[in-house]
Structure 1
């Protein structure tokens, strides 16, 4: 760590001032206050786990699985606060993690122990310039905050499937979602960012300014600094912002028919259509169930031909509605999609990207899933396939961003939420087996991982592929002491 980045010249090592997680050490708290308070604005807050406002003033992480442990937190009010915090953390060797939406996962975050949480909750804003087709958001702005302003102005932007994720975090990992068939990934709409770097500098990154940093941010952004605001291109809303949301629930006997639809979509997927198929298990009834969520931006008469194959599979429940864009994600899956937005759940995720659908493999992993459910009554989990047209995504040159896997046609998300933690090891073994089986027939030579869904045990090749060496060079230039990206670090040396 840098020990001469401003402030006093005396270096206090983190272990001397940071208490162990859960400790109520007043002396350590006083030392931290003495270090930071003189350099912060009046609106900045310094908090500790023993403060009554800890849980209310700070945005709590959405999953308790492999979570970082914090002994303190600072909630900066200004960019100048952030500059001071970064410099002082470097000087005093204090580990930290900056958080916005709090929706990041991955086992790498569990290695962050006794750290300081830099909570960006005060950087939460939306400014829309409809005439220029541009929108600027704060570093902690949630996706939920942009729907209404855009919809009211007759605009839209590609977003993910959940309203509760942070806009910036969603973008930095890539940003897949139902509008990518029309507008590409979320990061493809990013125009520029303003951020604090490891040196404590405030810089702008765009295609014309600090272009190397802008390239690296789009796919590996958490490794380079703290983004205070991001500016995006927005688009005229399609069909006046009205979507068709069609949900279907099936028994296990319909599984192959669903896999065949996904296989058809490998080549025939129109840009207006998105498909998500998830599997779960009803312990009370002792049966597996599948749910298909089909979204189409356009009128119902145009959507009918895409809905007919789902109707033909004999669903046990069907719901088809026309909904405005702001409530689409809350409506999906009969209103259950927003379960991903509950805070402090135990959620352990795995993922794999597919370039093709292999129906026998999908049926194999489906049966593995069912067998495990039947043998483990304490298990709760879902696995699903998200399918979006990727022609617009592929139209962007592969060299444009560090995220390399624009050729993925189907994203697989394996999400585990068991309360019986005696089976955690068995769950991980099952997930690795399912991931390996899917990767073996994915159509790719190796594992291709979407950063925002990554488990954390994937190697750097799975995340960055052919762009690994180049992103390592950018990392050495902008963050040579590896202050950022502790959850999913980019290797500094070969």
Structure 2
């Protein structure tokens, strides 16, 4: 067992000088860990390289150090020891948590799940079981070889479990619903350090809660998902359109044309960004059709008529589609950036709201050379997601037809006040025409200032509060968009 510069042969003596913060993690946790577990200190020169690097440094938590458990028993021991010594903790999988509420943890420990990256595919029963830190990228080839798929998030580097606990909205939603609809069971370490299974038949109330609010209830060590056959032999007809800024209203009109009717096989993603060299914004629209290219043609017409500068059609395997997406937005998998996300769920498309937001964002781009934000519209069908009754899971956004996400990239906190003011004004503008009675925000995209009713909905919040009081009364798991007790 690696303990940074500290050794079990002389815990107190060798570590005393090493702990500038006065917390000797090795003496507190070491004797209860397995031989393969590791303890690392934030003061170690290789701490960043040896631990999971956060995607964004915005409102980041701070740690005395990290513990890399090797077994589920290690995690149980870490939780119990942390409770005993009143040390706050966060479990880290893919490292893509974006909410500012994570920054409430200051001077705690990271439970780094890097050793929990297993991927096991049971082809006979169409199941895939992943460890708590496995990423989507690790599941692609096993699923593709088996001719199977499930609903997933969009970025290959995102942790499967982390995305699924919030819902797992993504570009395959039209075919398979949201990611939690495929979730069969999880193994989870609770606030008491117990290891439990949650499924439809075991701890069913907990299983209800973790499907949409899962970060509030424990540390998932592994999760099993039901797979389905890949559509069109796993091939996608993907067309990318590039539009000039002056055609932005036409682009939003094209998006709106799918408000009332959209085939399950279609997914539309629009990304507006700014080229500081050319001093002009551009809009990229990616239209994916999970079927033959000839069948896709009719759904491309609204965008063809919107006046693109270019249209690039390709047919490719869905695994390559992710690489195409990443080539467009490489920042999605680049750790260590300063990114402030704002988002809102929409029930309808209001063209005027988009035009107004696009113009305001363009003015901000032009004024601030260091600002490199992108506006993303994820327009996915929700018919399959709505076949699961609203009351079946804690996830509250099945009525949403789109999620608007603005990823604000800039160097440091000096632009925080200006960015936050613009984003809150933009969010309010969309909320007024969203079609929802209350602010609705997908929890995995949340900024963290919206509140529990926006993340979990007022209709589900009381039930979630009751379950929070039952499973985590001391609010140990309350750093990621917490359910208030």
TM range (shorter): over 0.9
Deviation at 1:380, TM superposition (A): 1.3
Distance (whole Å) between structure 2 residues aligned to residue 128 and residue 273 of structure 1: 27
TM-score where L is the length of structure 1: 0.93
Q: Deviations over 1:323-342 (max 9, x none)?
A: 11112121137x22332000
Distance (whole Å) between structure 1 residues aligned to residue 481 and residue 347 of structure 2: 24
Alignment coverage as a number of residue pairs: 470
The residue aligned with 2:317 is 324
Which of 86, 89, 93 is equivalent to 2:86? 93
Deviation at 1:270, TM superposition (A): 0.6
Which of 194, 201, 205 is equivalent to 1:208? 201
SS of alignment partner, residue 260 of structure 2: helix
Give unmatched runs, 5+ long, in structure 2.
1-14
Distance (whole Å) between structure 2 residues aligned to residue 419 and residue 73 of structure 1: 26
Distance change >3 Å, CA 212–CA 315, structure 1 → 2: same
Alignment of 1:396-407 (within 5 A): 396-407=388-399
The residue aligned with 2:19 is 25
Which of 112, 118, 126 is equivalent to 1:125? 118
SS of alignment partner, residue 28 of structure 1: coil
The residue aligned with 1:13 is none
Distance (whole Å) between structure 2 residues aligned to residue 177 and residue 32 of structure 1: 39
Deviation at 1:377, TM superposition (A): 2.3
Deviation at 1:302, TM superposition (A): 0.9
Q: Deviations over 1:25-77 (max 9, x none)?
A: 26835x32112111010000010022243222211111111111111110000
Deviation at 1:309, TM superposition (A): 2.4
Alignment of 1:88-487 (within 5 A): 88-332=81-325, 335-419=327-411, 421-465=413-457, 466-487=459-480
Contact 1:245–1:332 (8 Å) recurs in 2:
no
Distance change >3 Å, CA 382–CA 27, structure 1 → 2: closer
Q: Deviations over 1:239-279 (max 9, x none)?
A: 11111221111111211111111111111111100001111
Deviation at 1:368, TM superposition (A): 1.0
Contact 2:171–2:267 (8 Å) recurs in 1:
yes
Deviates more, 1:88-97 or 1:284-293: 284-293
Distance change >3 Å, CA 264–CA 168, structure 1 → 2: same
Distance change >3 Å, CA 168–CA 371, structure 1 → 2: same
Deviation at 1:282, TM superposition (A): 1.5
Which of 6, 30, 49 is equivalent to 1:37? 30
Distance (whole Å) between structure 2 residues aligned to residue 28 and residue 75 of structure 1: 20
Which of 60, 69, 83 is equivalent to 1:67? 60
Contact 2:452–2:481 (8 Å) recurs in 1:
no
Contact 2:237–2:314 (8 Å) recurs in 1:
yes
The residue aligned with 1:6 is none
Which of 43, 50, 57 is equivalent to 1:57? 50
Contact 1:329–1:337 (8 Å) recurs in 2:
no
Give unmatched runs, 5+ long, in structure 1.
1-17
SS of alignment partner, residue 144 of structure 2: helix
Distance change >3 Å, CA 205–CA 375, structure 1 → 2: same
Distance (whole Å) between structure 2 residues aligned to residue 75 and residue 380 of structure 1: 34
Deviation at 1:192, TM superposition (A): 0.3
Deviation at 1:403, TM superposition (A): 1.3
Deviation at 1:317, TM superposition (A): 2.8
Distance (whole Å) between structure 1 residues aligned to residue 480 and residue 398 of structure 2: 23
Contact 1:277–1:290 (8 Å) recurs in 2:
yes
Q: Deviations over 1:77-98 (max 9, x none)?
A: 0011111111000001011111
Q: Deviations over 1:324-379 (max 9, x none)?
A: 1112121137x223320001011100001110111111111111111222222222
CA RMSD after TM alignment? 1.6
Distance (whole Å) between structure 2 residues aligned to residue 26 and residue 454 of structure 1: 34
Distance (whole Å) between structure 2 residues aligned to residue 94 and residue 79 of structure 1: 19
Q: Deviations over 1:217-244 (max 9, x none)?
A: 0111011111000000001111111112
Deviation at 1:399, TM superposition (A): 0.5
The residue aligned with 1:82 is 75
